Structure 1
Amino acid sequence: MAIIKLSAIERRKLTIFFTCLILAVLAWLFFSLSNNYEYEVKTAVIFKNPPLNKAFNPLQSDTVVLTVQGTGWQLLFTKLRIYPKDVKVSLAPLKNRNFITFTNQLKDINQEYSSQQQIVSVVPDTLYFDFTTRKVKRVPIKLVTKLSFIKQFGQSNQVVLDPKEVTVTGPQKELDKITYWPTDTLDKNKVNVDIIQNVSLKQPDENNISVFPSQTLAKIPIEEFTEKTFKIPVKVINNKEYYNIKLIPEKVKIVFMVPLSAYANVNESDFVATVDFNLWKNDKMQQLPIVIEKKKPFLKFRRVEPNQIDFFIRK
């Protein structure tokens, strides 16, 4: 293939040509994106000002299609799903009817957006609602945590919540599904001191559910743990035929971690070691694995020695 060689003047002319071409394209793109266009955005509906004495249930999807008038730049960002993320509509008209229209609220809705971006219409324009009497239910709060501790530290007692219950208001059908109310996740790393912190409650997924209060004070006791050991006897379970069974050994060593404040109050009776005789009768196992059951919470079991034992049946 022949290689075209250009002189210095020709290369400079070619560079000027492509530079002018790129500048022209950029200028055209800039002015084109600065013009106004209408485009459609599918977005979620957020309800505000709900009626106090009614539990409402929307009879259609909680998403609508907005026809928005804005610049080409806004159209570009909308394709990237930057905005609008949602549209807020007032339920105040439901005091005396069972529907609302976006047309009557477009002026108020548009005040929440840029003056260069206006909602022209909404599909569907009318939203209908079914009503029932609002019911009230009290349920316990469930603290959701994601905690990691400095080595040797951990939670040493039950979490205390204040308040420990929440009042949920809404339709009876929805309240029947609710047995507790979760908090937002309390996320902390390298914990080595007591946690005392206000935690927000999770926002309802349904627009016709309200929760009070919006937060709770969580108190989580944190302590340093230390190692402790015991030798405890092993019990045989599921020996329904009352075989005379000899275990070897009859006691095992357990190693566990205990909070410093509880060290003196933990004894052998707080643990039970068992072997399941069904494992021999049904599975013909020649050694039986040890299972440890602890009677007190917040004791961290580490290991048992040995973890399985021999046995023989006396005749």
Structure 2
Amino acid sequence: MAQPRISKAKRRKIAIFLRCLGISFVAWLLFAVSNVQLYVIKAGISYVNIPENKAFHPLQSDTVSIKMKMSGWKIFLRKMNPDTPHIQVDLSGLKTRNYIVFTNQLGYINRQFPVDNQVIAVSPDTLFFDFSKQTQRKVPVRPLYDIQFKKQYGIIGDTKASPEYVTVTGPLEDVANIEFLETDTIRGSNVSADIRTVAYLNKHQKNNITIYPIFSEIMIPVGEITEKVVELPLKVENARQYTSVRTLPSKVKVTFLVSLKDYNKWSSRDFEAIVDMENWEKNKVQSLPVILTQVPEYCRIISIEPQNVDFFVRK
């Protein structure tokens, strides 16, 4: 059966209808994104103007809900790229009470956002704090780094921090548990020279402690490295009950990376390789794995040949 043809007049009417529908949708979309709407976001909190000689514990989560007036377009962009902002909370009011009311700080909080984003409420509206005895303690700085080196380069010495120790102040029970403070991660790629940088210390979201100073200068010695091979005699451990134990071979070759400046510093006397007979007694293995029990600092082992050795036992 032949399909009825649509006349040119009908096709024109359909085209006009679809064009009007598209224009209406675009107009509605522009109106929606330009219209101011209420939007709720999650935000982390940090504290400023902490009263001196007072240590405190927050009695609620360090995340709050913020109700804001935003344009539809900004809401759309935030949904496309969601993040968790941080707001600062002024604790100067804790000098006379143990709670902070967000309603009294809306002006201060709004100054932390763009002028066209208006904060109208924060939930919970009140933050409560428990005060405790304050103490101080000096703890060492531990640098963190994620560095990619240029080929044949690497760390060739001790990483140094200046200052090596910082002062932590806060509640006794919190400060007592801090053994060290890590820096923010120091990153680098294709590195072939010493790294000297300033890294801020990471509180690990402990907002009720203060650190002085808040940063440390970090120096990481970097230099050219090369391969070196040493031959080590094998020592046998846990073999007192046997008359003799002989390994085949009696020596192993160890290949390691070492800095050029220390190439002649390390020799076979600075390494130790053993096999443990206890492994044979317990597991009845056919060969013994070679274990390195002594390796100089900043020497990176590449290979041990052989990794397992045969042995003969005389009881």
Q: TM-score normalised to the size of structure 2?
A: 0.89
Counterpart Cα distance in 2 of 1:238 and 1:147: 41
Whether the 8 Å CA contact 2:253–2:306 is kept in 1: the answer is: yes
Match of 1:85 in 2: 85
Deviation at 1:139, TM superposition (A): 0.9
Q: Structure 1: give runs of 5+ residues left out of the alignment.
A: none
Counterpart Cα distance in 2 of 1:2 and 1:69: 59
Deviation at 1:54, TM superposition (A): 0.9
Over 3 Å counting, the alpha-carbon distance change for 1:278 and 1:211 in structure 2 is: same
Over 3 Å counting, the alpha-carbon distance change for 1:74 and 1:154 in structure 2 is: closer
Deviations 1:262-295 (A, max 9, x none): 1222122101121111233222233322222334
CA RMSD of aligned residues (A): 2.5
Over 3 Å counting, the alpha-carbon distance change for 1:155 and 1:11 in structure 2 is: same
| Of 160-169 and 275-284, the range deviating more from structure 2 | 275-284
Deviations 1:182-228 (A, max 9, x none): 11111112222222222222244022112222222222222222232
Deviations 1:104-155 (A, max 9, x none): 2222322333444322233322221111232111111111111222232221
Match of 2:196 in 1: 196
Deviations 1:246-269 (A, max 9, x none): 333322332222221112221221
Alignment of 1:212-231 (within 5 A): 212-231=212-231
Matched, 1:163 2:160: no
Q: Percent identity?
A: 37
Counterpart Cα distance in 2 of 1:146 and 1:92: 38
Match of 1:307 in 2: 307
Match of 2:289 in 1: 289
| Of 14-23 and 278-287, the range deviating more from structure 2 | 278-287
Counterpart Cα distance in 1 of 2:104 and 2:248: 84
- The residue identity in structure 1 corresponding to 2:258 is V
Match of 2:104 in 1: 104
Match of 2:21 in 1: 21
Match of 1:153 in 2: 153
Over 3 Å counting, the alpha-carbon distance change for 1:126 and 1:2 in structure 2 is: farther
Size of the aligned set, in residue pairs, is: 315
- The residue identity in structure 2 corresponding to 1:310 is D
Over 3 Å counting, the alpha-carbon distance change for 1:73 and 1:96 in structure 2 is: same
Deviations 1:149-195 (A, max 9, x none): 22322211111111111221111111122111111111112222222
Match of 1:61 in 2: 61
Alignment of 1:126-275 (within 5 A): 126-275=126-275
Over 3 Å counting, the alpha-carbon distance change for 1:286 and 1:122 in structure 2 is: closer
Over 3 Å counting, the alpha-carbon distance change for 1:229 and 1:21 in structure 2 is: closer
Q: Structure 2: give runs of 5+ residues left out of the alignment.
A: none
Counterpart Cα distance in 2 of 1:311 and 1:285: 11
| Of 183-192 and 37-46, the range deviating more from structure 2 | 37-46
Over 3 Å counting, the alpha-carbon distance change for 1:35 and 1:298 in structure 2 is: closer
